[in-house]
A and B are shown apart, each in its own frame.
Chain A
Amino acid sequence: MSSSETTEAATSADTSRAGSVRLDHVTHRYGRGGETFTAVGPVDLTVPAGEFLVLVGASGCGKSTLLRLIAGFERPTHGSVRVSGAEPRPGEAAGVVFQTPRLFPWRTVRGNIDLALRYAGVERARWPERRAELLARVGLEGTERRRVWEISGGQQQRVAIARALAAENPLLLLDEPFAALDALTRERLQEDVRRMTERTGRTAVFVTHSADEAVFLGSRIVVLTRSPGTVALDLPITLPRGDVDAEELRGSQEFAELRAQVSHAVKAAAAA
């Protein structure tokens, strides 16, 4: 009895750490009355702080819904969602990067970052320094004065990432952020995001339908079945992290095997 108490205390301590995510029997339905549609669930999932979790599944499997639940945009119909041990609220729990950049066109690159710094409660005197730091982190030095429609799609998504990092939330949520970009830009951004999360020790939950992207980025991959989405495969990825040659990693035997395994699981889950 005392041993079960201690394990429970240990688990709750772990999932209340900043940046950790815990989903308990989460189900989410859209619609009201007779016309409801179960998008997700039931899902049980624990993401310890510092993990890079990639949610993979065919389109319509509810992976974006799951991300919206973690971000606090939606509340689960059943079950509970906990981020850093508390109920998530938008703008508090996590930084979010959406599928499209969603930048404010009436503001310049600098204006978009500044707005994020203001919402994050950073005092005005520290903005220039923090702004430069954020832009440097996403490789956008010197673009401050540009209008957001003057820069490329890849640069726009970089601004969106810098904006999401402004509050220094311990958790970063990314919803297919590179799906609309060309292959070359996508690979570069994947490398940057991988390096960035490693260096800062942030927790990340990344949604994608690409097995390739999942294997490259994740320290753990969860494959979801088709709607309602439930966990079909939970796979730790043991590929080397830290200072690695991205090209070498992508070309390795182990990478190819993992990609095949995930790809197979996604297809099987979509067919089921």
Chain B
Amino acid sequence: MSTTPALLKPADPADAPPEPAAPARSVWLRVRPVALPSGSLLLFLLLWQLLAASGTWSETLVPPPARVWDAFVDVSTTHDGIRGYNGTTLVEHLGISLRRIGLGAGIGVVAGVVFGLLMGTVGWVRSLFEPWITFLRTLPPLAYFSLLIIWLGINEEPKVTLLAVAAFPPVAVSTTTAVAAVPKQLIEAARALGASRWDVVRDVVVPSALPETLTGVRLAVGVAYSSLVAAELVNGLPGIGGMVKDAANYNNTPVVLVGIIAIGVSGLIIDGLLLRLERVAVPWRGRA
């Protein structure tokens, strides 16, 4: 009876240490997803500040973070009787650009889906258009922008067209591939139930291609986004890309940086929303 506590005793100190350590570890695991990204952001701001303060480059080239913040406040508000940048606030610039992207990418996506469906189902249509779409896809949007200016002038038309042309190929290509890869077994199952050709397209081909098509849409919006500054190179004000271009003309680096950050952050938010839409719209992804 007296042996039992004697046997237990030496085990006690060995058991004790993990107890306080385990919660600390689990807390770290929980905060890590937030801690690491914000830590890297802080580190970046610190390095930026140090670099600007070191005086290696002039303030015109590398303004310190505080000056960029001031520029952000300036272009977001009315100060000294001047409204934002060039009479338009940052949010309005962004809104106008987002409208162009919405319109342009929207047209590109719709055209891409229509072409993708046709090319995926009809062999000769694919042979006819595929080389052209591949050619278009390899072109940087700036390459055809000049042509669009000659043809369409300098107002909204060339900008929206540029974004549409840039967004079209990724959607067309992903939809074509997805449609061509629709499981023949499911088409046969639908036909065995009495589906007509059109029923098969609507009830099997389209839903089966949807996950891939949505991935194409996300790619397309990304491409349109990265073409934004190019689209607003000429007569782009008001517009966030136009603001960046105009500020660069005056070596106004803080405003250029504000514009770049605004484009980047809004792009991230839009991609996040599209990813969310994908999860809600196609819960069967990967389960077929």
Contacts and interface: CB of A to CB of B under 8 A. Distances in A.
Contacts of A71: 192
Contact of A73 (B188, B204, B282): B188
B249 interface: no
A87 to B, nearest CB: 16
A116 interface: yes
Given A98-B185, A100-B185, A105 B284 contact: yes
B194 interface: yes
Interface string B254-288: 00000000000000000000000000001110011
Interface residues of B, number: 21
A41 to B, nearest CB: 22
B222 interface: no
A163 B194 CA distance: 11
A119 B207 CA distance: 17
Contact of A104 (B191, B192, B204, B283): B204
Nearest to A99: B185
A236 interface: no
A102 B186 contact: yes
B195 interface: yes
Interface string B205-244: 0011010000000000000000000000000000000000
Q: Dominant SS at the B interface? A: helix
B189 interface: yes
A71 B193 CA distance: 11
A105 B191 contact: no
A94 B191 CA distance: 11
B157 to A, nearest CB: 38
Nearest to B288: A105
A96 B207 contact: no
Given A100-B185, A106-B207, A149 B193 contact: no
Contacts of A106: 207-208, 210, 282, 284
B203 A96 contact: no
A218 interface: no
Interface of A: 71, 73, 90-92, 94-96, 98, 100, 102, 104-106, 115-116, 119-121, 147, 149, 163-164, 166-167
5 contacts: A104-B190, A104-B207, A106-B207, A116-B193, A121-B194
Interface of B: 185-186, 188-195, 199, 203-204, 207-208, 210, 282-284, 287-288
